[in-house]
Structure 1
Amino acid sequence: DLKTPFNQFPRKIQNLILAGRNPENPRAQSAFPGVLPLLDRWYGETTSENYREWFEQYMSPAPCGKCQGKRLRPESLAVTVAGLSIADFTARPVAGELETVRKIRLSPREEILVRRIVNEIGERLEYLGGVGLGYLSLDRSAATLSSGESQRVRLATQIGSKLRGVLYVLDEPSIGLHPRDNQRLLGTLERLRDLGNTVLVVEHDEETIRRANYVVDLGPGAGRHGGYLVASGTPQKVAETDQSLTGQYLAGRLSIAVPPSRRAPNGKFLAVLGARAHNLKNVDAQFPLGVLTVVTGVSGSGKSTLVSDILYRALAKTLYRAIDEPGEHHALSGAEHIDKVIVIDQSPIGRTPRSNPATYTGVFTPVRELYAMLTESRERGYRPGRFSFNVKGGRCEACRGEGQRRIEMNFLPDVFVTCEVCRGRRYNSETLAVKYKGASIADLLDMTVQDALPRLENIPQVKQKLQTLADVGLGYIHLGQPATTLSGGEAQRIKLARELSRRQTGRTLYILDEPTTGLHFADVKQLLQVLNRLTDLGNTIIIIEHNLDVVKQADWIID
């Protein structure tokens, strides 16, 4: 019976639906191949990246039962150096491996054979340690590294090459670094410079700017308010330039102030007991509710393991019956005080150009309904769907509402060109003829949040969401701006604005892992104002952070 809930079927029927065969008689195939074999086959056959991502959200990795995640056969693991197999050696952090290599004692015969190899391994491990990666293990998957860690791994290989006359370009290499490790990274960059190379760094970090020989500052604002060369020269010269926002922070004329008072916890706590995942040593940690908590510590100390792998996953499993298993721990208490747990990161708000701030925040639906209510629309029989660029009817069919067309280039990446029919406006001429206060739906999507506010101020639900976007410092972004063109910091603030515009229960836990990544001093200040607003509504915020401006805003610190 199709109306019977799945969990009310006998185990035998459940297995038949999932696996397609009776587990008591594995050879007896049913006519239906089974949900899991079907999904597995489709996952293997698909060439679409979007389909793969969709399938992967229902999959979770598990260690191989035969090799226990070591990847090699027993014969290979039987070979040891200094009592360690190759899997045991690569599973240790770089700092521990370096110590092991230094302790290796060789016989005179072994000295002749492998001394150069041992020295080479030691040198390369030292380079990784020198760029602040002493906490990484060599068997760590490259896909799990942050962009800053990936850059520093490549930087370590360049230091070993000892090249001269090279231009090195680094985009925010300080991401995820504790101030202590940042000093070591800057020392490494200065050594590259002293070898006779040119080092060009795109960075917001104050210490990096102060130690630069030459600074180029762009601005004065973001989006359409930027794009000009505001100042260039030594850090001192930039600090003396009044038009430079960066210079004002460097000179101390602007700063992020220490809060005059701290919020007191409301007496309720979330507690993680006996956390033992990765490098955590049976840790008990209490997170007070109703305050802004910052989790600090040097890179690789276990912050993300405690908060993201254990606390978040354990709460998600309790509240949402999530399938991801939390990291090893004894118990979690206090979950009954929370009704929602939300991770706000810098991932894109959408993966295609069809997604934009208007669709993500929910502004687009009432705007389409507004256009459908206009006299002109009602005369023509237009419904809200007419003003969507995702369905047939009102969209330009030449580009299917994308505003641009993809030209496939053999042996080269695809090229996108503006649609010659709608000229990037996404809609057909009949739809664009309907106007509200002199603006068509395409004109409205092309407006910035700040420009759209006065036009839509009479629609309360739209005004509130647009005002929140302006309050978090995003008044300059366009309503129809493709999600793929937004920076990580902008995407994060759009997510925060959506949370702020929702009805608050005061029982929501927000988790942010290094939210200041890629943010200017002024952006960090705005982000902190938004987070303080969320906390004042009774919510709980836990931030993993190295930025000292964020740490000093905390009501509670776990180090």
Structure 2
Amino acid sequence: MQSDKIIIRGAREHNLKNIDVELPRNKFIVVTGISGSGKSTLAFDTLYAEGQRRYVESLSSYARQFLERMEKPDVDLIEGLSPAIAIEQKTAGHNPRSTVGTVTEIYDYLRLLFARVGIPYCYKCGRPITAQTLDQIIDKVMSLAEGTKILILSPLVSGRKGTHEKLFSRLRKEGFSRIRINGKTFAIEEKIELNKNKKHSIDLVVDRLVVKKNVARRLADSLELAMSQSDGVVTVDIVGAEPVFFSEKAVCVNCGISYPEFTPASFSFNSPQGACPNCNGLGLTTEFEPNLVIPNPELSLREGAVSLWANRTSVHFFNFLDSLTSHYGTNIYTPYKNLPDQFKKVLLYGSGDEKITFYFERDDRRYKYKKTFEGIMSNLKRRYMETDSFQSREEIKQYMTFRPCPECNGAKLKRESRSVRTGNLGISEITELSVEKALDFFNNLKLGGKNEIIAQRMLKEITERLGFLKDVGLSYLTLDRSSITLSGGESQRIRLATQIGSKLTGILYVLDEPSIGLHQKDNRRLLTILNKMRDLGNTVLVVEHDEETIR
């Protein structure tokens, strides 16, 4: 057996005529020829199929029972065969949750990046919410220019009505000397009278300091005292600059909004921890569409304007329609588009608490009764929720359409997860960018300090994978693009970029005409990628008609 070759003897699969072939390992090999000559049979139905079969056979009998049994190709001998991966031109699966970002694993690294270095912002006031240790707060304050004058404040009341006399009394007993009310500083011993009907903000003045080298110990004591008074929150008021808020907990000092600790699962729309509760992480909700219920507004109710009533022609039903229209001053012969807006609303969504006089005729007599009208859309929704019949649900589904989720606006994530930003963008805003724009964003992203060290590996993986997508001619795709909507060629090149990112070696890659649909410039990039895969120590076998690839 020669380890530098893949040897095939007596291949007779499909239209192959007992051929013998020797292919060099760790090379870029192109199989070409006229249609029907057996190119794909040799590459996919013989080499790849046997590689997969041998891999499955190497597994335990327990594992094999969960896998489809693979038939041995009609061939006498194959030697020197590596584990095989086929990258064919076929569309991705039918999973609506699968996106370009998840398939390429870029989204996995994004989730990790946001969990580790993302900055949460209050969804009400937009202020950053950062949980910091005492040492981190001291370092931040000590990084101010030497000679900077600061006040250490403990926020006690934020925008709350009342006289707050009990608070002032407690502070006097505890020996504090100054307090700031609505931006003005008072001595605590003064008689302070506040309007109980107005909102007030009260800060305790813990210390006044000038930033210099030997002040660190006093600063630490003052910060610790301030945070003990206000449940872990402190304000450093810098003279001549904006005040800076610090918190030991992830709490908005302005609104009191707090978030749980963020993990990668908090940014996954496939996990209950991160998925929007309204759309379950799909970004879309199904709603009943009036235009599907009434497809032709030119028709009257009598002529079948309401599609689900089109086949109802009984006298009793027309009595019902006549009662309904007469109650609102119209008739069943008026085209739907000319009906009063109030009646259209009642027809679709019901009469609410208003009772309508209906009638039916029997034995030449007219019988009247009063009841509310449920409305077409309300009726469809109720039936859809209550029925256990698959057939009934399928019939009702024809009147439903997909709309962006009103809760998350298509972002798929919970409000807390959407409030975390990196480089001033949320994770869903980044996935809305094209591959090219996302690559520019991450190449120019500046984090600084410890965050830059923490994010280094993650950013390397993200930019590499984005670069691979760009190199295979997919720079126009967005990361949130659903895999279902990709063409066969796009799906193949995405899988190709994913394989490059995995950096496997010793693999036989089998590709089916990867250059189809590519511009000449992108084709050259693709060839560079394929050569890069070969240089990693892999055998790249391509079924191709493109002259440049063949050469």
> For this structure pair, what is the TM-score category when the shorter chain's length is used for normalisation?
0.3 to 0.5
- TM score, norm. by length of structure 1: 0.47
- TM score, norm. by length of structure 2: 0.48
Tell me which of the two structures has the higher relative contact order, counting C-alpha pairs closer than 8 angstroms and 6 or more residues apart.
2
Between structure 1 and structure 2, the one with the greater Rg is: 2
Whose strand proportion is higher, 1 or 2? Answer: 2
